[in-house]
Structure 1
Amino acid sequence: MSPRRHQVDRSPSQVDVAKLAGVSTQTVSRVMSGQDSVRPDTARRVLAAVDELGYRVHAAAASLASGRTRVLGVIVVSTDRYSSAALGVGIQQAAAANGYTVSTAAVADHASAEAFLDAFDRLERQGAEGIILGIPVELETPAMRARMERTPATRSERTSLDGDAPLAVDQHAIARLAVEHLLDLGHKTVWHVSGDDYWTETQQRSEAWEQTLRDRGIVPPPVIPADWTPESGYRAGRTIAAIPEVTAVFVSSDEMAFGLIRALHEAGRNVPEDVSVVSVDDIALAAYASPALTTVRQPFEDMGRAAALRLIAQIEGHEAIGEMPSTDPQLIVRASTAPPPAVS
């Protein structure tokens, strides 16, 4: 027989907890908000009543009582790229661990600056106490600066708007790691398949690729443009396959590298025997490509956690919570790179 129920089922309330614990509702509220003005034995009785009843704090009611929403806003570009999803996981983890929820505003790819400002305003109206700008474009404008002055905000990427950000992966370092690895293997030059020019990281990686070659006394070959998709990598691969002297390629994302390797294979160019390939990100599939990809790992989840922790510290007026995770890029050497055929 099923247990008896009240005539009207309802969730337990703060009043129910107070009655069971033998305290006032104000005491329950102080315990649930973590205030230290309650005697330990009283707090234990309240928490025991909470567990017994299965009471859960209603976020809207709590925000009305405290004047705080404990909501972090995140502005992202609407994309199916792995990096955006992994960054979001890190933000969610850090927020939840510190008693915050996350509200996201997605902006269309290649959107105008006004669209990002509108997203910022929308998150403010939803009660965000601080906002993470997980966006790939420069927004060094008076309008954005004014918003960042009235609402705590931080970026998950290094740009001139937040040039001293300790959170972002150094995109110039990513390109240097990739290009130097190929040159040190003995390749005379390194070709580059770039990402979408809309993204700041594309520009930074291309700049560092070119400078690294020039520092070695090498005139850079033409950049082969792409747009982050495997299809664009495939098209770039067909171009590379038609240039016999190419022995090394720096591709700006793992997903594009998958397409590029497919095109090289179809053209009878073997990786790495004929052409070595280094890419960026180290997504989960990179280790299971054929051949396994040499790539520069970006710690996306750590970046998200770091951005959230930094923002929470801004909101609450103290130093960052706990040890900030490292966001240094790391070269992961696998089977897609080798010395060029002439020096094998």
Structure 2
Amino acid sequence: MADVAAMAGVSSQTVSRVANNRSNVEEETRQRVLSAMRVLGYRPNAAARALVTDQFRTLGLISFGLGNFGNARTVDSITRAAQRAGYTVNMLAIESQTEQAVHEAFGQLTMQAVDGIVLIEAQILDTPALRLPSGVPVVLADGDVSHRHPMVDTDQALGARLVTRHLLDLGHETVWHVAGPEDSYAARRRAESWHATLKEAGAPIPRMLFGDWSAASGYAAGRVLAEQPGVTAVFAANDQMALGVMRAFIQAGRRIPEDVSIAGFDDLDESAYFSPPLTTVRQDFDVLAERIVSLMLDQIRGGTAPSATAPIAPHLIIRESTAAPPD
């Protein structure tokens, strides 16, 4: 630090302020110090800085499985949002949604000296008796309907309503649904909204089929649906399952969208290149992540966070996989 200060022509205190990203440094001085840091290969000592600031500038992240596109995109967006705020991320992906697994994950992350912990779609939080360990700020991405902890959520119900209503407005008598796993918060919200939208419209409510978010499970459900001539519209709870449904109908000789309309949820990067391009619901993962990190930083800095914020509205993306039903 003394070498950096000498090269930049400033005091060691100024170098410290730049290293800790403080605002009370003129921009020209900051750039001079940063240039000296690069030349000398200086790196702030995180442990020493933590002793002074009582902050490690590290967030813990617990995800219950990364096979789900939504969870993976949420992790990616949170990591980038944290980096923009000057924080790194330590992540644990765990499959078992038990109280013991959650407490063990908290223990591992707190031993790694994190300032706060984000949980992504923790279905275990629906257990009324569950209490998360105290002593570290927590923010949830989906999954705490009782609002015991600060939470940021995409409006899953709105997304499902938009796509179901779109298919009904095209003239389909009803809409079949391939739901996600029964233990998924997001899947339940989408399925409940699909059901409510059909009921409000006075449309028949077909039997719901379940998948596991994979294209293979969508294909299995699609084979069942393709055997029923009366099926003219299908809403799959994510784009991967929609892809499997599409393949099953095409193999059965059913044209998309001339004979059957198919829609998904998430708007994968590849969805615009399905054959035909897929109508779907786009979630804004970047806005979700920014709100999560903002809530976390508010708590780290000593403030309080609301138990819930307004859900983030998704958008219906209409493409060539949906059309009016056959005459």
With normalisation by structure 2, the TM-score equals 0.89
* Unaligned stretches of 5+ residues in structure 2: none
In the other structure, the counterpart of 2:271 is 286
Is the contact between residue 122 and residue 143 of structure 2 (CA under 8 Å) also seen in structure 1?
no
Q: Give the counterpart of 2:301 among 316, 324, 343.
A: 316
**CA RMSD, Structure 1 to Structure 2 (Å):** 2.7
Provide, for residues 72-100 of structure 1, a one-character-per-residue CA deviation record: whole Å limited to 9, x for no partner: 11110223222222112211222111111
In the other structure, the counterpart of 1:126 is 112
Is the contact between residue 88 and residue 301 of structure 1 (CA under 8 Å) also seen in structure 2?
no
Question: 1:115 is aligned with what amino acid?
Answer: A
Is 1:52 equivalent to 2:17 in the alignment? no
In the other structure, the counterpart of 1:4 is none
- Percentage identity across paired residues of the two chains: 41
Structure 1 pair 210–164 and aligned structure 2 pair: CA distance change class (3 A): farther
1:270-285 alignment to 2 at 5 Å? 270-285=255-270
Alpha-carbon shift at residue 164 of structure 1 (Å): 9.2
SS at match of 1:250: strand
Is 1:84 equivalent to 2:71 in the alignment? yes
Is the contact between residue 169 and residue 329 of structure 1 (CA under 8 Å) also seen in structure 2?
yes
Give the whole-Å Cα distance in 2 for the aligned partners of 1:186 and 1:40. Answer: 61
Give the whole-Å Cα distance in 2 for the aligned partners of 1:39 and 1:286. Answer: 47
In the other structure, the counterpart of 1:157 is 142
Structure 1 pair 135–41 and aligned structure 2 pair: CA distance change class (3 A): closer
Provide, for residues 85-130 of structure 1, a one-character-per-residue CA deviation record: whole Å limited to 9, x for no partner: 211221122211111111111111x532321222122212211111
In the other structure, the counterpart of 1:8 is none
In the other structure, the counterpart of 1:3 is none
Alpha-carbon shift at residue 24 of structure 1 (Å): 5.6
Give the whole-Å Cα distance in 2 for the aligned partners of 1:200 and 1:40. Answer: 46
Alpha-carbon shift at residue 43 of structure 1 (Å): 6.2
In the other structure, the counterpart of 1:218 is 203
Is the contact between residue 191 and residue 248 of structure 1 (CA under 8 Å) also seen in structure 2?
yes
Is the contact between residue 87 and residue 300 of structure 1 (CA under 8 Å) also seen in structure 2?
yes
SS at match of 2:209: coil
Alpha-carbon shift at residue 142 of structure 1 (Å): 7.2
In the other structure, the counterpart of 1:67 is 54
SS at match of 2:172: coil
Give the whole-Å Cα distance in 2 for the aligned partners of 1:111 and 1:20. Answer: 53
Is 1:171 equivalent to 2:156 in the alignment? yes
SS at match of 2:89: strand
Is the contact between residue 230 and residue 259 of structure 1 (CA under 8 Å) also seen in structure 2?
yes
Question: 1:122 is aligned with what amino acid?
Answer: Q
Is the contact between residue 273 and residue 341 of structure 1 (CA under 8 Å) also seen in structure 2?
yes
Question: 1:251 is aligned with what amino acid?
Answer: A
SS at match of 1:63: helix
In the other structure, the counterpart of 1:95 is 82
Alpha-carbon shift at residue 48 of structure 1 (Å): 4.7
* Unaligned stretches of 5+ residues in structure 1: 1-13
Is the contact between residue 144 and residue 151 of structure 2 (CA under 8 Å) also seen in structure 1?
no
Is the contact between residue 250 and residue 278 of structure 1 (CA under 8 Å) also seen in structure 2?
yes
Alpha-carbon shift at residue 292 of structure 1 (Å): 0.3
Give the whole-Å Cα distance in 1 for the aligned partners of 2:258 and 2:129. Answer: 52
Is 1:139 equivalent to 2:125 in the alignment? yes
SS at match of 1:192: strand
Is 1:192 equivalent to 2:177 in the alignment? yes
Is the contact between residue 142 and residue 151 of structure 2 (CA under 8 Å) also seen in structure 1?
no
With normalisation by structure 1, the TM-score equals 0.85
Question: 1:66 is aligned with what amino acid?
Answer: T
In the other structure, the counterpart of 2:289 is 304
Give the whole-Å Cα distance in 2 for the aligned partners of 1:257 and 1:138. Answer: 27
1:17-28 alignment to 2 at 5 Å? 17-21=4-8, 25-28=12-15
Structure 1 pair 178–43 and aligned structure 2 pair: CA distance change class (3 A): closer
| Rg (Cα) greater in structure | 1
Structure 1 pair 130–269 and aligned structure 2 pair: CA distance change class (3 A): same
In the other structure, the counterpart of 1:261 is 246
Question: 1:213 is aligned with what amino acid?
Answer: L
SS at match of 1:281: coil
Structure 1 pair 219–163 and aligned structure 2 pair: CA distance change class (3 A): farther
SS at match of 2:44: coil
Provide, for residues 54-89 of structure 1, a one-character-per-residue CA deviation record: whole Å limited to 9, x for no partner: 322232332234332011111102232222221122
Give the whole-Å Cα distance in 1 for the aligned partners of 2:304 and 2:148. Answer: 19
Alpha-carbon shift at residue 338 of structure 1 (Å): 0.4
Question: 2:183 is aligned with what amino acid?
Answer: Y
Give the whole-Å Cα distance in 2 for the aligned partners of 1:39 and 1:291. Answer: 55
Is 1:252 equivalent to 2:225 in the alignment? no
Structure 1 pair 128–331 and aligned structure 2 pair: CA distance change class (3 A): same
Alpha-carbon shift at residue 202 of structure 1 (Å): 1.4
Give the whole-Å Cα distance in 1 for the aligned partners of 2:64 and 2:20. Answer: 35
Question: 1:173 is aligned with what amino acid?
Answer: L
Give the whole-Å Cα distance in 2 for the aligned partners of 1:152 and 1:91. Answer: 16
Is the contact between residue 141 and residue 151 of structure 2 (CA under 8 Å) also seen in structure 1?
no
